[in-house]
Amino acid sequence: MGQLVQFSGTIVSSPGAAADCSFPAAVTQIQFSGGQSLIANVSSLNAKAVNSPSAYVQLDGLGVGETVTQGTFLYLRSNTAMVLRMTTFGAPDLVAEIPIQGTVIYQFPQAAYLKLLEAKGVGTVEYLVAGQQ
C-alpha cells in the first residue's frame, strides 16, 4: 500500500502596524488544500546545506538510483534566496529554473513527473518529495 500525501492551510494577508496600532483594513484569508489526496509509493524527507553560488547541485532523494524516481509532490523551504532547477519527464524533458525564497509547493502530473531537483545558492533547504520508485 502507498503513502497518502495531503496538505492544507491558510494564507493570511493583513496590513502592517504603524506606530502603536494597525490600520483598520480588511484581512484576507485564503483556505487552501491540495484537493484530492495523492497516493505515493515512496517519499524522501531531507535537509541540505547548499554552498554553490554559481553551479547547480543535485538534491538527494530524487532521481536515478534515489528513493523517489518519479516525483508527483514537492514541498521545499529555503532560508535564503536560491534558484531551483527542476527537470520533468517529457518528450523532450522540460527544465525550469525558478528563483525562490521561503516555501514552495508543487504538484506534478504523473505523465510529467519530477525526475531531477537541483539548487544553486548559499543556504539551507528542507524538502519532501513523494511519488513512485
- Each residue's pLDDT tens digit, 15-61: 766 555 555 567 777 777 766 677 788 989 999 999 999 999 999 99
- pLDDT at residue number 111: 94
Q: Is 116 inside a domain boundary?
A: yes
Q: Is the predicted pLDDT of residue 108 greater than 90, yes or no?
A: yes
Q: Is the predicted pLDDT of residue 119 greater than 90, yes or no?
A: yes
Q: Is 14 inside a domain boundary?
A: no
- pLDDT at residue number 36: 67
Q: What is the CATH number of the domain that holds 52?
A: 2.60.120.1380
- pLDDT at residue number 101: 96
d(CA 57, CA 92): 22
Q: Is 85 inside a domain boundary?
A: yes
Q: Is 106 inside a domain boundary?
A: yes
For 3, the grid coordinates are 503513502
d(CA 41, CA 122): 32
Average pLDDT, the chain: 87
Q: Is 10 inside a domain boundary?
A: no
pTM: predicted TM-score of the whole model, two decimal places: 0.83
C-beta of residue 121 within 8 angstroms of C-beta of residue 94: no
Q: Is 96 inside a domain boundary?
A: yes
C-beta of residue 43 within 8 angstroms of C-beta of residue 6: no
d(CA 62, CA 69): 6
Domain of residue 94, residue span: 38-132
Answer with the residue of higher pLDDT: 103 or 30: 103
Q: Is 3 inside a domain boundary?
A: no
Q: Is 30 inside a domain boundary?
A: no
What domain count does the chain have?
1
d(CA 65, CA 73): 18
- pLDDT at residue number 71: 95
